[in-house]
Structure 1
């Protein structure tokens, strides 16, 4: 009977974690969409919904700790619970960066736009959202090989970051009117890069779930070291 209850709790933990992942993916999409479209109402929605994602993370951590304390799981079951705790923390940080993008949207006051940069940011954001969705699917399918593959997508995100960074700096040099907007672009792509880094962290936890080993799949820990 106890085992059945534990298995039900474990299934609920999986379900709640996946729902949190979907909420974070949605927040990232909406935050970038609001920034590109200068949609301050949508940006405000992202900011207000962040409390829901924070509550999800707190709830997952509480449930995980209760299951460890009361059920004393071993080996694979314990790895599942640890993975959910650690990965939900990464999801929460990703949502925080989505909020930062939304706040950048609200800050912008009719600055000179660089359309080529905004198009590239939209493409970069699409890559990041795909990465998040793929990570959550790899988690559900317990596909650690897919997780390793997904982690390599961070390289493409890094490439977009470098391209947009260079393009923005050049535009700011050539036209001083773009400096304020360009600074916002640099901030936003920095947040997107960090979100991709946290998605890679989750890939590492999926590998840990399967193998019991923590592998470093990051090619670049630049932001974690700061």
Structure 2
């Protein structure tokens, strides 16, 4: 076996795990979009489709991790190649969690079936979901383009996602305090908003891994690890 064959085979292995990651990204983007649409239109069937579809994302995550582990064991990559493999594995984990959050949104949508809604909140949540979905799409583009500048810009957007969430939380709290009949719907909507906000956090994590893969250094993380509004949330929802 000559060196050229070894190099070509290694390149194919690298391309394969990246292709799996990109496929995961596309599925997660679609799941987030469908979950937001199901919420806005109260489409239980679409929500159920999102819930079932998460299994495919989980399977791709396991396949990518297995292929990456085999690549590390057999190829022993170094320097930039090693960073790339490690970054792809981390990004896969972030995408898998984003898929979980899309599934959680769908499950909450199904739980709200037939229940009343708080006027205006579904469209507000849909706009927040669209904002965060764009973060996911752009951060994956930044990785594909190996663009640390674009990745850094996406990290900055996370503060806006947090602000949107905090504004929605205050709105839900006001509605629940004004009328106890809004409490059940308000709690469901709050969990949905928190899941959307968490997707933004994971998009930021993908951007950080992009910077690491290209530069060899992670950006300094001065973002708050947890805001006080998360207190009392169930682990399955966050």
TM-score (norm 1): 0.95
Query: Aligned residue pairs: how many?
Result: 226
CA distance in 2, matches of 1:217, 1:150: 14
1:147-226 matched pairs, under 5 angstroms: 147-217=151-221, 219-222=223-226
User: Are 1:143 and 2:186 an aligned pair?
Assistant: no
Alignment of 1:82 with 2:86, yes or no, is yes
| Aligned-residue offset at 1:110 | 2.4
Unaligned runs of 5+ in 1: none
What whole-Å deviation, never above 9, does each CA across 1:38-77 have from its counterpart, x for those lacking one? 1110111111111100011001101101111001111111
- For the 8 Å contact 1:30–1:46, the answer to whether it is kept is yes
Q: Distance in 1 between matches of 2:117 and 2:97?
A: 28
1:218 is displaced (CA, Å) by 5.8
Please tell me whether residue 59 in structure 1 is matched to residue 38 in structure 2: no
Cross-structure match for 1:126: 130
Q: Where does residue 23 of structure 1 map in the other structure?
A: 27
Alpha-carbon RMSD across the aligned residues, in angstroms, is 1.6
CA distance in 1, matches of 2:72, 2:13: 11
Following TM superposition, by how much is the alpha carbon of 1:189 offset from its aligned partner in structure 2, in angstroms? 0.5
Equivalent residue, structure 1, for 2:104: 100
Give 4+ residue runs of structure 1 displaced > 3 Å after superposition.
223-226
Summarize the Cα distance change of 1:5–1:202 in structure 2 as closer, same or farther, 3 Å threshold: same
